[in-house]
Amino acid sequence: MKQSLKLASLTCAITLALAGCSQSTVFNSTANPQVTQTQSVKNYDAGTFFDTTSITGNSFSSTGDKILVSSDESGIYSLYEVDAKTGGKTRLTNFEDSTYPVRYFPNDDRVLFTKDSGGNERYHVYVREADGTMTDLTPGDETRASFAGFTNDGSQFFITSNKRDAKFMDLYRVDSKTYAVTPIYQNTLGLNVGAISPDGRYIALSKSNTNKDSDTFILDTFKKSLKPQLISKHDTPAQYSPETFSVDSNYLYYSTDAKGEFSQVWRYDLATGEHSAALKDDWDVSFIYFSKSGRYQVSGVNADASTKVTVIDTQTGKEIAMPTLPAGNLRSVNFSNDEKTMAFYLNSDTSPSNLFVWQVGSNQAKQLTNTLSKEINQNDLVESTIVRFKSFDGLEIPGVLYKPKQASSTNKVPALIWVHGGPGGQSRTGYSAMQQHLVNHGYAIFAVNNRGSSGYGKTFFHLDDKKHGTDDLQDIVFGKQHLQGLDWVDADRIGIMGGSYGGFMTAAALAFEPEEFKVGINIFGVTNWVRTLNSIPPWWESFKKSLYDEMGDPATDGERHRAISPLFHAKNITKPLMVIQGANDPRVLQVESDELVAAVKANGVPVEYVLFDDEGHGFSKKENRITASNAYLNFLDTYLK
C-alpha cells in the first residue's frame, strides 16, 4: 500500500515455449480510403523480456569518472560502478538479497548502500570501503534505517533509525571517518525527517495529521531546546511536505497543495520567516533539488501520468538546451561535483531506462547502457495512449491503454484491466517488461487510474476515502465497459489483474461483481482488511492516522472492513483466479492469500497459487519475475484466450 503523503514497491517451476510470430493488421484512418497494412510481430517469452536489465541510481564519484548504480543483470539487484567514459561496469556487491545504491562519499570512493533481508522491508544502511570491506552501520534484527544526507563538507552524514522505538524514526549523525554515531533528535512526536540543510544545522520535519492535512516543522540544532518550530500554519486542511534546502542553507523548499488542486513548491526564508512561491504548474510539481553549487535546479512535474523533468540554469533563469536524444522521458538527473557532467536516464514505453552522460553544453550525449534485450526488436513493442471515459456518476476517469499490434476490427483481442497499488497510487507511462510481455502476446491492457489515484488533483484523490471497494470498483467496471466499446477488443474476454491494492480490487471485482470479468490475477492483494489494518508494520505509526482517515479505523469501522473484504465473500467468486504472494511480505501477510485460495477452491473454481519463499511485497529477483510472468500468461492463455 502507498502512504497518502509521499510514502514511498516463484520458485515454483513453470516453463513455457512461447516463441513464434503473429500477423498484425493496422488500419490507418485518413481522409483517403482506409488502408490496410500487414505487419509481422514476433512473440517473445518472459525470459527474453526479463533479459532486459533494470538499472537505478546515478551517483557520481568524487572525481566524476565513475557512476554508482544498481543493476539486476546478475538476477538480483547488485551495486556496480560504471565508467563515465566507456560504460564499462565493475560489480561491487554479491549478496543473496538485492542491494540498492545511496551514493559515493563526497571526497573518496567509499559507497553507502541499503538492503533488507528477503523482502522484509527492514532496510539497513551499509558502507563499502574502497578495499571492498562492507559493514552494516545499523545492525539489529528489528531495525529499519535510512540515509538522510551528507553535510556539505562531507565530514558527517545522517541516518534515521527505529532502533530505540520500533514505531518512530530517530535522527543520528555519523562521523564519516570513524562511523561514530551521535543521536541528534529523538522522535517522540511521530514526525518524519524530510530534509537536512547542507551545513547540518536545520532539520525539516513533517507530520501527518490526516490524509488531507500535514505540517512542516524546522528544528534548529544550534538551539538547546531542540523544539521543532511549526512553519506551515493554515486554517483549512492542506498538505505541507519538505523538499530540499538551498545550498547556502538559507532557505527551505517545501511542497503544498494549499494554493489549489495541485502541489506547488514554495520557499521559506529561515532568517525572516517569509514564504514565497517558487514553482507551480498545471499538474503536481513532484520534486525539486539543486546541483552541488546551486548552479542547476532540477524539477519534475507529474503531467498526465508522465514525469516531465526541467533543468534550469539558475545564473540565467533559463532552461538548459539539451542535445538531441532518443524518444523518452528524463529521469534521475544528477551532476558531477564540478558540474561539468550530467548523468540521467531516458525511459519510454518501448525502452527501459538507459544511462546517459552529457558534457554540459556539448552537442551530444553518450549512452552508457543498452538495457533492452538484444533479442527484442523495439518495433515489436507497444506505445501507450492516455484515454478518458465517463464513470457511473459522470466523473471522467483517466487511464493508460496498450493496444496490441495484432489487434484490429477483424482480429479482436482479449483485454485486461490493470489496477495499480495504493491506496492512492497511479498507473504511469514507461517501460514494464511484465505488461509488454502480455501485450506482445495479444492481450490489451488498460491501466485505469480510478478515483482516489494520485496525480489528478486533491479533490480526485480523496473521492474514494472510505469508499474503497465501492465507488472505485465501479470506475473499474466502467473502464471495462469502455474497452467493450472498442472495435478491436473482444467484449466477451476481459479480465482484471493488479498488485497490492490492485490485488484487492481484483479479488473485490470477482467477489462483488462476479459476472463482469472472466478471470482475475491477484498479486499480493489485501483480502481481509480487518486483519491487515490491525497488523500494519510498526514503522507505519507516523502515518497510521492518515491511513485510517482513508480506509477507516479498525476500532470503529470493522463492520465496513468486513463488508468490503473479498475473503468474507469468497463464496461469490465463480471465475478462475490466480494468486501470487511473497512469503516475507510485511504488509499483506501470506495468510491473506492462503485463506482466499482455500475459500475459492471450496467453490470448485479453478485457482492457481504461486508462492515465493524469498520475496516480500514485490519481487526483487529476476528469476521470480520471469516465473510470475510465465504464470500470468499460461493462466490467461488457459482461461481467457
What is the maximum alpha-carbon separation in the chain? 80
Across the chain, mean pLDDT equals 91
Read off the pTM: 0.89
Segment 340-369 shows an average pLDDT of 96
Kindly give the interhelix angle for 433-440 and 622-639, rounded to the nearest 10 degrees: 30
Query: pLDDT at residue 205 above 60?
Result: yes
Domains of the chain by start residue, with CATH: 382-639 (3.40.50.1820)
Q: How confident is the model at residue 5 (pLDDT cuts 50, 70, 90)?
A: very low
Average of pLDDT values for 474-492? 98
Average pLDDT over residues 357-371: 96
Of all residues in the chain, the percent with pLDDT exceeding 90 is 84
Whether the predicted pLDDT of 630 surpasses 70: yes
- Average pLDDT on 568-590 reads 94
Q: What is the DSSP string of 553-613?
A: -TTT-HHHHHHH-GGGGGGG--S-EEEEEETT-SSS-HHHHHHHHHHHHTTT--EEEEEET
Q: What is the pLDDT of residue 3?
A: 35
SS3 6: coil
Query: Residue 33: is its pLDDT beyond 90?
Result: no
For residue range 162-173, what is the model confidence (pLDDT) as tens digits?
Answer: 999 999 999 999
- Phi, psi of 532, deg, nearest 5: -60, -45
Q: Cα(618)–Cα(627) distance, rounded to whole angstroms?
A: 13
CA atoms within 13 A on the CB side of 460: 22
Where is average pLDDT lowest: 39-48, 386-395, 445-454? Answer: 39-48
Q: Residue 443: which of 478, 397, 490, 484 has the closest Cα?
A: 490
| pLDDT in the model for residue 323 | 94
Please check the confidence at residue 72 and state whether its pLDDT lies above 80. Answer: yes
- Enter the DSSP assignment of 38: E
> Per-residue pLDDT averaged across 136-144, rounded?
95
Take residue 478 and report the three cell numbers written for it: 466502467
How do 214-220 and 202-208 pair as beta strands? antiparallel
Asked whether 518 and 494 are in contact (CB, 8 A), the reply is: yes
Q: What is the pLDDT of residue 546?
A: 83
